[in-house]
Chain A
Amino acid sequence: MTMAEGDLAVTELAFVRRSTIAPRPPPATMTGALGWLRENLLSSAFNIVLTILIVLLLAWAIPEIVKFLVVDAVWTGNDREACLESVQHREIGACWPFVWERLPYFIYGSYPIPERWRVDVFFVMLAVGVVWLLWLNAPRRDLGAIYFFLILPVTSFILLTGWSTIGLRPVDTVLWGGVLVTIVVAAVGIVFSLPLGILLALGRRSHMPTVRVLSVMFIEFVRGVPLITVLFMASVMLPLFIPEQWSPDKLVRALVGIALFASAYMAEVVRAGLQAIPKGQYEGAMAIGLRYWQIMRLVILPQALRVTIPNIVNTYIGLFKDTTLVFIVGIFDLLRTIEIARIDPKWATPVTSTTGYAVAAIFYLIFCYGMSRYARAMEERLTKGDRR
């Protein structure tokens, strides 16, 4: 091949770099607060409009909330007089003395006052168990699991319901209320719904027709009726069919109803995860000689649950809030105790209800946001584990 003169001239230009270019810092528009703003809030016209709208919304809402909860709030007082409009107080915010006075009721319901230390002990034991189990670097997590799933339920049961032989006065569950009930119902629902849901999901995908049909029937039936119906069935209808002396406690019936209800939803969540696992995983596991339950426990479920963590937590958050429905069958959860307290004539003011509901909102927000944050952290940790 011959080369034209022009080509020769090109070859003389130094296209070959002989030294390495030292890395330079990125332009200022990419880094720092300014870069972040450009990247995240002002990247396009639509984004800019959204940013402005949200800033306006926050500018409107946050001062109002702060004003009600803090600035205009009443902090001291003994009865409704303190929270009424007066010459000094034109605008009245949250009525905190009301919450302060009724706080024990919100927490314990009608649990007998001399026995309330038992509830406190339960809260502490539960907190220890939850931290032990959820903190992934905690020491002896195997003991933590035994504590949480075996020791904690038994001791809490004895502690809360009482046992006269060891000197704990029996306390009827009718007297339980407030945060205690909300926590107990949510904890039982959360702890039981996942294993039951997994079993139902596996049943639904089973090759055995009877198992499959029963699972499908249960899941579809429970998903087809509202939770309120399940609770009514459990508390009103069930006693009609069962002799009175055999009929379990009202709270227990509601607990069973909620756990079964949540497990049907959990089953569908888990099934979605199971369907995401390729067939090759089953075949690989079968070929090395693992049996069905080993395959599920060691190979399939760890992968399936991992991809469904966001959905599992979503179901948990829904469940946590659905626990308020137990008030329909006469169980006094947190919301119900607030409902009762807010119509107490002693504290009847225009702001009492709003204050009470604000307390409920803050309580649920803290718990649900906590669950959501924990799930996020867990997801990040797991994706770090098997970087792809």
Chain B
Amino acid sequence: MIEVKNLGFSILKKQILQQIELKIPKNSFTVIMGANGAGKSTLLQLLAGSLLPTAGNIFMDGVDMQTMNARQLAQKRAVLSQQYYLPFALTVREVVMMGRYPFFNNHPKAIDEDIVNKAMQLMDVQDLGNTIYQHLSGGEAQKVQMCRVLAQILDANEQNEKYLLLDEPVSQLDIKYQYQLMQIAKQLTRQSVTVIAILHDINMALPFADTLHFIKAGCLFTSLYPPFQITDSLTKSVFGIGSMHLPIPNANYPFIYFQP
């Protein structure tokens, strides 16, 4: 479980986030949404530990994150970011193996090779092992990065719970793989992984989320739980655009149609 207590972040006198209080229960799928510039990326960076809060604390499994060093953090959580640029040629397998770096010193052990294989099978890139990363298409490269991130957390179990943070992970993927990735993430929540994702598309979030947090102007505007009541006034406040919610047969979440 992650507990966020009175979290604030400011830089150069600009207050980006203030007084954020939330609890992320274990094995849940939490989605954070908000307009551009609302502070969601900053919140994710703080949850990932790459930024330090200027106010408040974040507790990961009861431990203040600021007391953990980079390697300890890396063994507990993995982050998938939006864009990657690799300046030198590496094979796909070498890139995925980087996900196991927090767990071995110089030579990968057998378990590391196993997890790399597992990750590549999960994302269906097992045949690309020896392909050079720079020769991949944008979507394939994003999948390989997901493999690398998965390799960090696939050995999660009840004694060793892990966190997966996704920062708008579906931008480069086609529609089938977008859903595939979300399904893989959802499946991981049944395997001792807690998922926290930033998503732009609310209709992508609704089938998978256990909790929706809306960030507006640096504050936690509201949090929603199933069944999600996404009203016109909510989307107007958070996104600045009105909407209609339409029922989907056989689903316990609506389809949100935006109308300016």
Partners in one complex: no
Interface of A with B (CB < 8 Å)? none
Interface of B with A (CB < 8 Å)? none
